[in-house]
Structure 1
Amino acid sequence: MLGNALPRQCGLATYTSHSVKALRASFPRLRIDHYAMDDGFGVTYGPEVAMAIPAADISSYVRAASAIQRSGAELLWIHHEFGIFGGAAGDHLLALLRHVDLPLVVTLHTVLARPDPDQLRVMQALVAKADRLIVMAREAARLLETVYGVSAERIVVIPHGAPDRALLDTSVMKSRLRLGSGPVVLTFGLLSPGKGIETAIQAMPRIVSKHPELLYLVVGATHPVLLRREGEAYRERLKGLAAELGLQEHVRFVGDFLEDEDLLDYLQAADVYLTPYPGREQVTSGTLAYALAMGRPVVSTPYIHAEEALADGIGTFVPFGDSDAIASAITDLLNDPLSLSAHARRIWQAARSTIWEENARVVMDVFCDAKRGHPTAITTGQALAENKHVRLEGIAAMTDDVGIIQHSVLGVPDRRNGYCIDDNARALKLMCETRAGDPEERRRLALIYAAFIEHAWNDERGRFRNFMGYDRQWLEEEGSEDSNGRTLWTLGHVLRSAPDDFMRRWARELFDKALPLAEAMQSPRAIAFTMLGMAAVLEVEPGHERCRALLRRSVDLFTRLLADAHRPSWPWFEIVLSYDNARLSQAMIEAGRVLQDQAAIDLGLDTLRWLLGKQRAPEGHFRPVGTESFGKPFEEPASFDQQPLEATATIEACLSARRCDADPVWMAAASKAFGWFAGDNDLAMPLANEDRTLCYDGLTRDGVNLNRGAESILALQMARHSMAALMAEYEERPQLAVVL
């Protein structure tokens, strides 16, 4: 973090320090080094500041850049204001940026509509270097696009952060601060000319004539630059104006630089907050954000920040420089105390989205996007570019002439646990879809897995068996609904993707034979697997009417499931999160795609977006839904144990989403899930072995599960296959690409 820092007395120092504090509170594992710009006027920083950078000394910027690079930092966040950096228009900052090669996020506290040549030069260099730009007003975003040529996808609007307090009746704080019982109007901020205080004071006599006990508080220290130049002369001139108007008892100056808690006390004592800026150019006002967060009714001139923050009736606007209009607006508010109180509550509720906790969460999302998009900071993308092809060696090592063996002991196939149709179905699906490896080896393996599925069909029961012992004896007459649904899914994909005609004919015949079992399924996941298989069939045989009717019925069922389980914070198909969650959303997306049902697609996309949020760790990396949370209604996902299948399901669901929706979020989310295999996870431990042929069985609190079963090995290779397919989607339409 590079910007100003408390105890320096300025709004930017307050904002920057509060940003750091909010991030540390919201993300305790996050390490933040705060580098503070120093103006040379004797501010002493505490241990929370890693380094002070003398603003006028260009060599100090280079030394700071070296320290940042050596520190192991993964991202640089700059809070920019022209006045805090040395050189022409603050161009010393560019020296630092030339020596730092990190993802860069810049929060712009001022965006000038008419920059001078130096300001334009510095701003253009800064925005060219930044991966993401944060502004606090939509007008600032518009200026970045129109004046500086920044593409919209690099700009994020995040309103000014603010503290959180309960809404109080003003009498509580009036009593505590000994302000009397009359109405209080308040303006706060560092005192300096150009803030319209004179106009506000000139409005007071008219208000006092209607409300004789009124008190106007002007809270805030004199701006340090003004104080060094002329002392308190400006404050004294304002006091003189108040005396001329006979307002000595009605205008009070609180001239200290207040700590946060004291400042909030004053805000909560105010009946009306007044911001009388004389011009429109003010893009950001922390004082206004704080006032709204405390639920204060606002009278304001229509400067840029106020126009946006006070939209939809939140505040009352008055013309610039019009003391009569200010007097009328404040008087009208004070004349109706009940309406004023109700208005305060509406303002307080509307401002909850700006509190620091919410601000930190949104900022962290921007950090993650910037880090993912920076070309020198991408481990997942580099690994993908180098290893995007499926490796069959690990799969072949787990396969004998019967099928793929379920489990291993530290990587050695464990024959005692035999085989299951789930793994053989997954393996067959992959062999028919990938073109990696030797074609003859793929065909050999595919025939083994297909033979296992053929043998698993129990014609008397109209179901597939699942488990077989190593002695080739079936351990059951029929398998679970999920295993049957997964097999139907595979058969649909074999029909669509197998390179050999005879394999496709075999899959069609067995699929039709088994399709009736879809009508009796109750498990949402079994139904989802079946939907995915039916969607694949309809892609190559759109005239398969029975398949179409069953798929339509399944879409209607899932829509009802969502409605039944839905809560305001739980838009999901079930009241719990379990395994293979992303398959439910993927099934709706794929069904909607082949049925040309946009409502089904949208439902799938919306639920997938919600699930992606649940699978994101506070630090931004992918965190699968842990098995410890299975079966717990409406609860947040547990962290462990984490299974490879969850990452693969997420990647494949994002691939389905990308084929229906151009939003780059799908590539970003899939990349995070893929990075989980490489060590971008809660324990920073890779799940894949060095040559990417094998995969550990999961991530536990104590580390990786060192066994390497068929399910995990297949999950890794299916993930690589789907990531390669997703990259191909973007390569075909590069205008939608994001840098991985």
Structure 2
Amino acid sequence: MKLAYIGTYPPRECGIGTFTENLTKSMLGIDKQGVQHNEVLVIAMNDGNQKYIYPQEVKLQIRQEQQTDYLEAANFINISGADVCILEHEFGIFGGLSGVYILPLLHRLEIPLIVTLHTILDTPSYNEKAILKEICKMADKVVVMSQKAILFLTSIYDVSQEKIVLIEHGVPDIHFDRMDSKKEFKLTQKKLILTFGFIGRNKGIETVIKALPEIIKKHPDILYIVLGKTHPNVLRHEGEEYRTFLQLLIKNLHLESHVLMLNEFIGEVVLFKYLSACDIYITPYLNKAQITSGTLSYAMGVGCAVVSTPYWHAAELLNENRGRLFDFNNHQQLAGVLNELLDDPETLKQIQANAYEYGKNITWPKIGKKYLHLSNSLLSFPKQEIYKKELVINLLLLPPFSLTHIKRLTDDTGIIQHAKFGIPNLKEGYCLDDNARALLMVLMTYKQKKEEQALELMPIYLSYIHYMQNIDGTFRNFLSFSRTFLDEVGSEDSFGRTIWALGYLIGNAPNDAYYQTGKLVFFEAFPNFEKLNSIRSIANTIIGVSYYLKTNASDEQMMEALKNLTNKLMKAYSVHHSEDWHWFESLLAYDNGILPLALLHSAQITQDPRVQEVALITMEFLEEHTLKDGVLSVIGNKKWYIKDEERSFFAQQPVDAMAMVLMFHQAFLMTGEKEYLNKLFDSFMWFLGENDLRLSLYDFETKGCCDGFENYGINRNQGAESSLAYLISHLTVLQADEEFYQSDVIENHTKRLQPESL
């Protein structure tokens, strides 16, 4: 039998990775003669930009936030000859909101699927619940490791009990003599208390440290060893703050000779020597919501006397005198429990014996046989028929997302607005429009992909915007390469695009410094909102205000401003529309999709059905004139399209295609109608050659986007506006694909309002 596994894998330092490695080895089916009967292949999950040198069983890697990697993995598994796929599921190791990127992979699998759930939440968020339910629907069998997990799956996630299989967490079949281990570590004169695993604030190690002074009064030979590195995610975002806190606590309580913190990720052989040497093992976790604990299982497997807080797995596993429980954060109670056990060696030995007896039944060879039996049982039946969503977006057609050209255009002042082919044209300097678009793009990039490059670029664009703001809240637009102002007040369009970016920033800032700066500039500009006359400036400002109100819904003054701006756009429609011309002007000019997009955003916030009706009518009118048979033909900027005259096909620009992508995306979010995803993707493919010239504007060599096409062909210059339009559109496609697979979320999303007659 050939088995495919999806999960983290060593040398990545991760508990799930260790589990996956042990499971694969236990399922090789090696008989007494040493013959291997099964073949394994591993699809390893990578975090961030980390790279690992994997062993030969790892055949493919998935970068956590790269959606196309998941699709390529599905194709690989389907043609690999694998008979069964086993997924190790844990929140946090898969990309997208609540790990949604795993859904398209599972959706495409053509072989039976077993899912092992390492975390099951009793109070999941809406997204967490919807995604886990979807995973369980696609699984042929769902493996859990405790009775509590079965209860949660059936009562909270509506999973059929017939689909659920209980297989305990395995432990390595490694054993050492207790006294020999103590001698090796020179601990024969010590009573050893041990905690191991990744270190983070939820581990509650401070509870044990606070309990030690009371214990030392009776047992001065106590040594508490904390064995484990700081969790990589904690280290990445918080550094060693928690470890430093613990070390300071140890110093303040004068426990330096009684606590040893070993900042190591050690192999299983050495780990089991420490476990064998310890007298009492402690898991002092701070939260009950842990359905499975590998460290607890390991301690039980060795035969440790375990003392633990009553998180779910511990409360179940320590039944029948296999350990002792104490309340969360209660160091006085812990001190009493430990003193009681240390005072009574016979009781301690009995608990150790009970744990050892239990542990004999959960060694990896025995657990592996259970998984093999389960896998074989699935081969006897055809893969379950489940509802398959029709795929509307093919991410494999997209080039890899890259900020290479944007970095090339960006210096420490801002993004250069123009380029000669793929080279920055420094003579043209900078403009506010492009730095606002650039800020929006890197915010979207960091939110979706967590790319550090985006975080590094963010303050450059934000500081440019701040620098260009006048004392009255308006903005200058143009700045020369020598940092000389080239205008006193920029265009209304540049003002509106800036408010869009700032409104998005306020709702999606990666830290407080960026949030506070963005909010300051936004509100300095606020008095100028009511002065706007250009409908595109009004539209861009509406979008920015709408993003602001998504996270500040109680701001009545801003809500009133949104309604006033919306009324201006609605008035423009009222003045210019006729029976055969459903538009805001007597011509279709540039950036047209922004106008219906703005009304869609406004309707989402104000819940005004009349606004949404105009948005949909004008969107359909624009679509009628630009999208035919799945090919987008945006209005050319040569002559535009004046009512009752011929439309222009040349000087088509990327910013217009971007507006169409964003417009259809917002329509999908508002209505849940899948047809808009088709139109969104068709609009995006304009960049990649599905256009009037059938030529790609995206440059696969420079990673930039050409400025458009003329009657002579492609305009090969790759300025900021065009490249940013492409990247924003690319990110929107990725986001739409993610939202599509959150089917339950989408079905209950903001419903289309019932329109009134105009």
TM-score by length of 1: 0.50
TM-score by length of 2: 0.49
From the CA coordinates, give the structure whose radius of gyration is larger.
1
